[in-house]
Amino acid sequence: MSRKKTPKNKGGSVPAASTLPTAANRSRLACSRTARPGPEALPKGPPQSGRPSLGGTGDFYDVAFKVMLVGDSGVGKTCLLVRFKDGAFLAGTFISTVGIDFRNKVLDVDGTKVKLQIWDTAGQERFRSVTHAYYRDAHALLLLYDITNKDSFDNIQAWLTEIQEYAQQDVVLMLLGNKVDSTQERVVKREDGEKLAKAMKLRRLLMRSIVIPALQGAETAIYKGSQRAALQAARVCQEGGSRGLMLSTLNLADTSSTLEEATLPRSCTGNLCPLPRL
């Protein structure tokens, strides 16, 4: 595979810390319910200059969320995003992300236009200082590990420490065990992922009968925090994780959560699962 993690048509990449968000553009990133059309009112991800406007495609939307993909290098963040955005799986040679990159996607959820602004961060240590500044505005963080790479699982705690330091306390966090298609190479047991989730006092929202083809092989899904943001983040995984994912979320502000179960809506039969009205 040859692919470049460089600016793309509907997104952009941010290799330098000089373009980190300002207080002004951070406030615009807040989850917004806007009148349509709203390209100029779309939440502007950092930075503002030198790249196409996030709304340049003329997307209409009612509500917008900023979602960030984080985790060790090579866990599959870019693949998840590309799969979600373009429906393609980037198999083959691994080219590491430089800096930070983003894609927009507007989904129709029960008649509501939901815009997701999804940021793909570089997993490599040397880019941490760049990505830290982007946590603050995120509504949801998807924290990935690779079930074939024990180190990426062991490093989850370190990622959580970073998240606790830099993200909003009420951010929705999902823990994703990626690459479950690689059954032969699996070194992180599903139970270990679930144990970690429990240790973090996660709440369980979605499990068992997830009938979305993209989620075949999904192990479990847990959320806590803003329900709507959690579900939108789950949708990223549902569409992006054709190879199955374990989803779980953590509300860092809530240490007294208990496990709660629910299921996806019955109408959830395709790649796009209508979200329940919350």
Ligand X SMILES: Nc1nc2c(ncn2[C@@H]2O[C@H](COP(=O)(O)OP(=O)(O)OP(=O)(O)O)[C@@H](O)[C@H]2O)c(=O)[nH]1
Please report, as ranges, the residues that interact with ligand X according to CB under 6 A: 73-79, 90-92, 94, 96-97, 122-124, 178-179, 181-182, 243
Tell me whether residue 21 or residue 244 sits nearer to ligand X (CB atom).
Answer: 244
Closer to ligand X at the Cβ: 97 or 249? Answer: 97
Residue whose entry in the numeric block shows the structure tokens 């799969």: 83
Pick the closer one to ligand X by CB: 218 or 264. Answer: 218
For the chain, the first-to-last Cα distance in angstroms comes to 41
- Smallest separation (angstroms) from ligand X to the CB of 220: 17
Handedness of CA 226, 202, 130, 97 (dihedral sign): negative
What is the nearest approach in angstroms of ligand X to the Cβ of residue 277?
Answer: 31
The minimum distance between CB 223 and ligand X, in angstroms, equals: 21
265, HSE (Cβ side, Cα atoms, 13 Å):
15
Pick 114 or 236: Cβ nearer ligand X: 236
DSSP 187-221: -S-HHHHHHHHHHTT--EEE-S----GGGTT---E
User: Which is closer to ligand X, CB of 94 or CB of 158?
Assistant: 94
Which pair of structure tokens corresponds to residue 107? Answer: 């989904």
Structural tokens at position 33: 């319910």
Q: Is-contact 253 167, C-beta < 8 A? A: no
Q: Is the peptide bond before 47 cis (omega within 30 degrees of 0)?
A: yes
Cα(68)–Cα(39) distance, rounded to whole angstroms? 21
- Inter-residue contact 257 to 198 (CB < 8 Å): no
Are the beta carbons of 182 and 147 closer than 8 angstroms?
A: yes
Q: Measured from the CB atom, is 45 or 55 closer to ligand X? A: 45
> Which of 34/73 has CB closer to ligand X?
73
Minimum Å gap between C-beta 122 and ligand X is: 5
CB of residue 97 vs ligand X: minimum separation in angstroms?
Answer: 3
The least distance separating ligand X from the CB of residue 123, rounded to whole angstroms, comes to 3
Q: Which is nearest to 31 in space by CA: 69, 70, 61?
A: 61
Nearest-approach distance from CB 15 to ligand X, in angstroms: 12
